[in-house]
């Protein structure tokens, strides 16, 4: 039975579609951008953080509207695939949600209006690029990397303290771009059969697991190199102090997770095994983003530790173990 858009059943189904365990991906990306700018008022900071966390869920629901063919094979548990939610309703709620997040980000920085619009347009046009092996991960990654710029612009406008861009901004953008591109690519491993059957010519479909794992190694390496450059810029030639310990600890665990993810990816022989590698890859993204943010704003360190803990719990409670 299809749920009415204002019903509790719709809200529950839409929440599943949002993938709550991945809201932390956009959340830490936006927080990283915010940490690169001047301090904003507490309530403003909280409102912006909420918008960043929610944006991933609305974006996932939006892209799901255009991928029901492959999702019907690889993720049959999703309410949209099962027909429990109407596509038009999910589209409407997703666009309204993304517009609301965009308005929050644009309230203090008018420059965020075109950036947010560009991100929404990118989400709506992602599916055709996913069908091309050379485009999917990079096309998805630039959309997520935009969140760094959106966060930086928002707090700069909110603080009303114009300043030169932080030296860590370019490498932080690279961390988000290459890290998310790697997450997307490893995610394709779990859907190879469904993607092949529905005409999505992803890297694992066209070249197989081995070459795709090597390509993933390159992306992971670029992510870690960019992270090192961003961390160096964040510390700004100062010797690490006690308040840098949370950030450094998060980064250290993130590097270990990155290595584990790449080692596991090379061992994948069947798509049902892929989640063993994807889990540490997404952990890496959240850990590195949170660690860099903590180095830039040490006062946020304890809260970022709690955020990571909440991510771990949410990820473990995902509806289907092999789907991430």
Mean pLDDT by 10 residues, the chain (324 residues): 88 93 96 94 94 94 89 87 92 94 90 89 89 94 96 89 86 98 97 92 96 98 98 80 90 98 96 95 98 96 96 92 82
**pLDDT tens digits along 20-36:** 999 999 999 999 999 99
- Whether residue 15 contacts residue 94, with contact meaning beta carbons closer than 8 Å, is answered with no
What is the per-residue pLDDT for 99?
Answer: 93
Q: Among 219, 190, 215, 189, which Cα is nearest to 204's?
A: 189
What is the per-residue pLDDT for 237?
Answer: 60
What is the per-residue pLDDT for 124?
Answer: 84
Q: For residue 45, how many other CB atoms are within 10 A of its CB?
A: 18
**Can you give the chain as a three-state secondary structure string?**
CCCCCCCHHHHHHHHHHHCHHHHHHHHHHHHHHHHCCCCCCHHHHHHHHHHHHHHHHHHHHHHHCCCHHHHHHHCCCCHHHHCCCCHHHHHHHHHHHHHHHHHHHHCCCCCHHHHHHHHHHHHHCHHHHHCCCCCHHHHHHHHHHHHHHHHHHHHHHHHCCCCCCCCCHHHHHHHHHHHHHHHHHHHHHCCHHHHHHCCCCCHHHHHCHHHHHHHHHHHHHHHHHHHHHHHHHHHCCCCCCHHHHHHHHHHHHHHHHHHHHHHHHCCCCCHHHCHHHHHHHHHHHHHHHHHHHHHHCHHHHHHHHHHHHHHHHHHHCCCCCCCC
Q: Which CATH number fits domain 8-316: 1.10.10, 1.10.600, 3.40.50, 1.10.1060?
A: 1.10.600
Q: Among 41, 37, 39, which Cα is nearest to 164's?
A: 37
Longest CA span, the chain: 61
- Whether residue 227 contacts residue 178, with contact meaning beta carbons closer than 8 Å, is answered with no
By CB atoms closer than 10 A (0-12, 13-18, 19+), residue 291 is buried
What is the per-residue pLDDT for 224?
Answer: 98
**pLDDT tens digits along 103-123:** 999 988 888 999 988 998 998
Question: Could you give the CA distance from residue 282 to residue 278 in angstroms, rounded to a whole number?
Answer: 6
Question: Could you give the CA distance from residue 108 to residue 155 in angstroms, rounded to a whole number?
Answer: 8
Question: Could you give the CA distance from residue 87 to residue 89 in angstroms, rounded to a whole number?
Answer: 5
CA–centroid distance for 18 within its chain: 12
- Whether residue 37 contacts residue 160, with contact meaning beta carbons closer than 8 Å, is answered with no
Backbone angles phi, psi at 131, to 5 degrees: -70, -10
Question: Could you give the CA distance from residue 300 to residue 28 in angstroms, rounded to a whole number?
Answer: 12
Residues 6+ apart with CB under 8 A from 114: none
**pLDDT tens digits along 60-107:** 999 999 888 888 888 888 899 899 999 999 999 999 999 999 999 998
CA distances from 1 to 75, 80, 161 (A): 19, 12, 53
CA atoms within 13 A on the CB side of 150: 35
């Amino acid at each position: 039975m299809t749920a009415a858009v204002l019903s509790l059943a719709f809200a529950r189904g839409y929440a599943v579609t949002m993938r709550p365990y991945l809201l932390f991906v956009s959340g830490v990306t936006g927080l990283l951008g915010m940490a690169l700018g001047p301090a904003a008022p507490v309530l403003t900071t909280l409102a912006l953080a909420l918008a960043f966390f929610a944006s991933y869920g609305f974006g996932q629901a939006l892209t799901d509207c255009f991928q029901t063919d492959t999702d019907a094979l690889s993720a049959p548990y999703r309410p949209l695939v099962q027909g429990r939610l109407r596509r038009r309703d999910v589209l409407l709620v997703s666009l309204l949600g993304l517009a609301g997040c965009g308005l929050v980000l644009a309230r203090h920085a008018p420059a965020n209006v075109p950036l947010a619009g560009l991100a929404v347009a990118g989400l709506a046009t992602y599916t055709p690029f996913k069908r091309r092996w050379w485009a999917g991960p990079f096309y998805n990654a630039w959309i997520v990397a935009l969140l760094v710029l959106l966060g930086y612009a928002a707090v700069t406008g909110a603080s009303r303290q114009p300043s030169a861009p932080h030296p860590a901004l370019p490498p932080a953008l690279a961390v988000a771009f290459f890290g998310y591109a790697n997450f997307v690519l490893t995610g394709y491993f779990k859907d190879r059969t469904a993607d092949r059957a529905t005409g999505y010519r992803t890297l694992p479909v066209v070249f197989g697991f081995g070459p795709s794992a090597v390509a993933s190694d390159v992306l992971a390496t670029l992510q870690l190199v960019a992270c090192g450059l961003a961390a160096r810029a964040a510390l700004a030639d100062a010797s690490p102090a006690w308040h840098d310990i949370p950030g450094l600890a998060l980064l250290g665990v993130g590097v270990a997770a990155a290595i584990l993810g790449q080692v596991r990816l090379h061992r994948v022989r069947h798509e049902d095994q892929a989640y063993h590698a994807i889990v540490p890859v997404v952990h890496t993204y959240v850990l590195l983003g949170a660690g860099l943010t903590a180095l830039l704003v040490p006062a946020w360190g304890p809260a970022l530790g709690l955020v990571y803990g909440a991510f771990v719990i949410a990820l473990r409670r995902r509806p289907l173990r092999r789907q991430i």
